[in-house]
Structure 1
């Protein structure tokens, strides 16, 4: 698949996914068939570098694809997020031999997932999972939570500690000692398969272990790339909610009696509020495009200055998308009236998805670092900024 035709293909797939998004959410039907469609279309291989036989799609194009998918079903949009983050990690930190091996796997259809977060540590960045040496390579011990997409994956990159340094160990999903529990019970993003991964003496080939440090260097843009895709999901949720709210008001809402109009869409205060939300959503989409271009620049020309510019552009887009998604998903009910709260309509999924996904990292810290940058401080480069 060439990335030149990726956007129209993603739009077409999004249109088909939109038709059954509510049923999947209502009945918690995991989108196995839909993820397979993305694979068959070559979406998971989009960012494999050209020198390794891939399409080498820019981050800006990928972000727009994720936004399009999220505007139909943000659960499906979130599932490949970690896959693309770890492809980018391999670009930044793996040896040439490792890149050759894993990029060939991905071009053949392999999917990566996520086993990073833990519970019980002092902060969310604490890592207790152990990578221990063995006579044949390494073994893993630990438990990971919020492991999005693992039920759809062929490989699970596991964040672990060895000799006080952090590594990513790439583990095939059929490995002995590895089990995945489908226990995600979030109020939103219900079909992302963000369950628990248990690692009890999982053997790992030494060729599949990659030190993490290189990806976190000040010039890499690693965190900005990952956050760009999160912002794209939030922007997609916002657009989805705004479109559904407008359709509901046009087709089903009744006007407030004081407005003195025949149809709800003729109410001037309703139109005004729609305008406010539309500006929020359009601003988030525009800032997302700007951030995508900044990430393209740092990935093509790594430098501390380009990385800082990309991080701040992405933080701005993330803050705007956070605001737009929560504003638009609240407006579904505010503007549509009491009838819109009927559970059989499924409009609540927009707010539940927005509220759940925007919890990934606190947007207040985006504002904090944006403000500090104006006062002469460089942004951090810890993987989530």
Structure 2
């Protein structure tokens, strides 16, 4: 397990204040880390030591039990400085939520306790080769008194920094002795378990330092009490998917704000006015002023909608309890998050591209690496297509159809 000793956070105000301080630290050197693909081990250690990774641990287990709105704001603040670092704990929070919704008391005590002490969880979820991203080929099956995990996972964000891996698996055959029915299970296992091989091979154009490599599981032996059935969280009105999507929207909104800030700073310091404007400074060009106003409205709209979506998720879950809410409340939360995701996606991609439009030729210099905002936005927003967000919003309006419960909505 991690050697980091984590502080304890007790309030939303404290969490936000710490996030702002860390963001100021993480902003220094973010572009250089991206250019060199320098993995942020010291920064992730700082994040874990700050106590922010434990803010969703239920109060019954010693945590701050902070609401989704607060978690989203923490993620957004950090993403304004370095969206790579903001994305690294995304799955950490999602799989803590799975434990809250579907873990048994012993599992909750064990893993919540580890996180309070500074442990970090990364996902091993996505695969290649199936008909769709929802197909799972990685298996867990009985092996004597234990179980065996075999398969390969890709895009395992945060795996290079993780103490624990949350591995999405498929059990095909029931095992009465172990009390397991067929279905999907998440296996929680230490990252250094024999048979686990973490490969640093992530080569995306953006989000380059998220540690999103490949993990191979070759005959990995686990105990029954390391398995959590996923169905209780995913196929019930829990808000599980809405919470996960809220954090994705927070990352995109943070990228948008970071890009707008970078554009503002660059134009103030380095841009020259276009000669037809008849002004001495770029910041006095009326067309440039107009464009900045348009971009600012897009970013502010994304941030406001993110806050509204967070409030809807807060209302759709019970942070200190079983996590069940009314189907209507969860549906409202999912639709609100879908709206936030659309606007954050739009703002992140538009502003990070417009940075060069308003900055001029000088802004394209490779040594400045200002394009990391666009590369990060373009890469992260590929996580799930917003075209399906529009579909579910439209169906809810026209058909009174509730959005799906499948973990990514």
If the length of structure 1 is used for normalisation, what is the TM-score? 0.99
Q: How does 1:291-370 map to 2 (within 5 A)?
A: 291-300=309-318, 302-370=325-393
> Equivalent residue for 2:118?
109
Q: Which 5+ residue runs of structure 1 have no aligned equivalent?
A: none
Residue 175 of structure 1, aligned match among 171, 177, 193: 193
**Which of structure 1's runs of 4+ aligned residues deviate more than 3 A?**
none
Residue 65 of structure 1, aligned match among 66, 74, 93: 74
Alpha-carbon distance in 2 for matches of 1:60, 1:251: 35
Which is further off, 102-111 or 71-80?
102-111
Deviation for aligned residue 1:20: 1.0
Residue 41 of structure 2, aligned match among 24, 32, 44: 32
Deviation for aligned residue 1:299: 1.3
Deviation for aligned residue 1:216: 1.0
Structure 1 vs Structure 2 CA RMSD: 0.8
> Equivalent residue for 1:381?
405
Residue 11 of structure 2, aligned match among 3, 6, 14: 3
> Equivalent residue for 1:52?
61
Deviation for aligned residue 1:185: 0.1
Alpha-carbon distance in 2 for matches of 1:22, 1:341: 14
Deviation for aligned residue 1:171: 1.4
Deviation for aligned residue 1:3: 2.9
Alpha-carbon distance in 2 for matches of 1:3, 1:77: 20
> Equivalent residue for 1:256?
274
> Equivalent residue for 1:156?
165
Alpha-carbon distance in 2 for matches of 1:157, 1:93: 14
If the length of structure 2 is used for normalisation, what is the TM-score? 0.93
> Equivalent residue for 2:210?
192
Residue 124 of structure 2: SS of its match in structure 1? coil
Residue 157 of structure 1: SS of its match in structure 2? strand
Deviation for aligned residue 1:218: 3.4
Deviation for aligned residue 1:64: 0.3
Residue 275 of structure 1, aligned match among 293, 303, 310: 293
Contact persistence 1:146–1:196 (CA under 8 A): yes
Q: Deviations over 1:301-335 (max 9, x none)?
A: 61111110000000000000000001110110010
> Equivalent residue for 1:144?
153
Q: Deviations over 1:203-228 (max 9, x none)?
A: 11110101110011331000000000
Residue 114 of structure 1: SS of its match in structure 2? strand
Alpha-carbon distance in 2 for matches of 1:65, 1:3: 12
Q: Deviations over 1:126-147 (max 9, x none)?
A: 0000101111311100000000
Contact persistence 1:188–1:356 (CA under 8 A): yes
Residue 166 of structure 1: SS of its match in structure 2? strand
Contact persistence 1:218–1:307 (CA under 8 A): no
Alpha-carbon distance in 1 for matches of 2:78, 2:222: 34
> Equivalent residue for 2:3?
none
> Equivalent residue for 1:94?
103
Q: Deviations over 1:345-377 (max 9, x none)?
A: 110000000000000000110111111110111
1:286 aligns with 2:309: no
